[in-house]
Each structure stands twice: as C-alpha cells, then as structure tokens.
Chain A
Amino acid sequence: ETGVTQTPRHLVMGMTNKKSLKCEQHLGHNAMYWYKQSAKKPLELMFVYNFKEQTENNSVPSRFSPECPNSSHLFLHLHTLQPEDSALYLCASSQDRGGGNIQYFGAGTRLSVL
C-alpha cells in the first residue's frame, strides 16, 4: 500500500458517457498528478496540482477535466471520450520541495472506451 488510492480500478465506458476517476492520498503531500500510460508509449504527464492550484496542463484535450478540491483529493472527469483514450490512468502525489520530487503512485484505473 503506497498511500495513494485510486478508484475505480477498472472502468468501461461508451463514447457518450460521463464518468469520473478518483484519487486520494494519505501521505500529507502538497502536489498531485495525473498520468496516462498507453501501450508502447512513455508515461505522459497530463495535469499537475501544486497546493491545489493547477500548475501544468500538457495540452490535454478538453474532454479530460481535472478537479482538485483539496490537497488530498484529485478527480479526473471524463466525457465524450474516444477509443484512443483507452489506457491506464495513474495518479501520483509528492511533497514538492526544492530539488527533490519523489512521487508515489496509485495502482491506476484501467479505462476502456468502447
């Protein structure tokens, strides 16, 4: 148990559905991240929240909408996704400090878009 919990673990959705991924960290960290992991591609950083403020959005399509209500919770709202969005979505958290950034990951949500 890494202290970062993601739900659900698996999700199947149609292209017209709306769903949300949830991430919760129990480590007292001040930064949280969403990554996308597709087959045969490097890990892609999607969003970063630092002290609840979004500090990075890596040109992610608007059909992905993050929300960080507090430093312990992070959501990824999904709507009108495409089949190519099928991937493992990983959440991570860290205590952001000068020079170091050890990120702790959740187990991920395996998303399949039909």
Chain B
Amino acid sequence: GEDVEQSLFLSVREGDSSVINCTYTDSSSTYLYWYKQEPGAGLQLLTYIFSNMDMKQDQRLTVLLNKKDKHLSLRIADTQTGDSAIYFCAEGAVSGGYNKLIFGAGTRLAVHP
C-alpha cells in the first residue's frame, strides 16, 4: 500500500540547520515532493526531486533521496524564524491511470532564537 511517514515535530535554534525526514513505500514513485504550509495558508511547493537523483540543492534547501531505503530528507541551512511552518513530504503515485500525490502527516518546524 501507499504510505508516507514523517516525524511530527522539530525544534531548532535560529541559524542552525534543520533536517526533516520522511519515509515512503511506493518504490515506483517517479517524483518526490516537499511542500510548506504557513499558518492560515495553503500548501506551497518548495522543491521536488526526480527518483533517479540522489541529491538536489536549491539555495538553502538540500534534498537527499535514498531510493534503496525509501528515505527522503529536506535540509534547511541557516534556519530563520520565517521557516517556521509545517512541512509535508509527498510521493507521486499512479491510481486508475492518473497521477496523484500521497502526503505525509506533516512535520511542524519551530524556530526559536
């Protein structure tokens, strides 16, 4: 079956790096995604990685993919208070001939001074 798991909370100090981890089950997923949700807002696509890549870097964000262990991580360098939000991991899946996303429950990141 399809399942995506994440830890629920992460607390970091401003300026430190944050690492949010995720495990997924569908080995056929072509893309894996990270979304960010700020209070009172919808989900914002942060970044995504193609399944044949091990790593993708985009400014302060680094995504690591271990396909063998079905493990995905998001590293945020120099974490700022504006990074406080809920971060959702999602895997792409195919159902009934169309594409859909399977989301984790989200990791709430709290950044403190």
Contact = CB atoms under 8 A, between A and B. Distances in A.
Interface string B3-22: 00000000000000000000
A106 B42 contact: yes
> Which of the four size classes fits the interface of chain B?
20 to 34
B99 A105 contact: no
Interface string A15-42: 0000000000000000100000000011
Interface string B88-113: 10001001111111011110000000
A100 B42 contact: no
Q: By CB atoms of chain A within 10 A, which of B48, B96, B99, B103 has the most?
A: B99
> Which of the four size classes fits the interface of chain A?
20 to 34
A108 B41 contact: yes
Contacts of A94: 99
A108 to B, nearest CB: 5
B44 A105 contact: yes
A99 B101 CA distance: 11
A97 B99 CA distance: 8
Contacts, number: 66
A47 to B, nearest CB: 11
B43 interface: yes
B45 interface: yes
Interface in A55-114: 55-56, 90, 92, 94, 96-108, 110
Given A43-B43, A56-B98, A90-B42, 5 more contacts: A92-B43, A94-B99, A101-B31, A102-B48, A105-B43
Interface of A: 2, 4, 6, 31, 41-43, 45, 48, 50, 55-56, 90, 92, 94, 96-108, 110
Interface of B: 30-31, 33, 35, 40-45, 48, 88, 92, 95-101, 103-106
- Minimum-distance CB pairs A-B, first 8: A101-B99, A105-B42, A99-B30, A105-B43, A43-B103, A42-B105, A107-B42, A108-B42
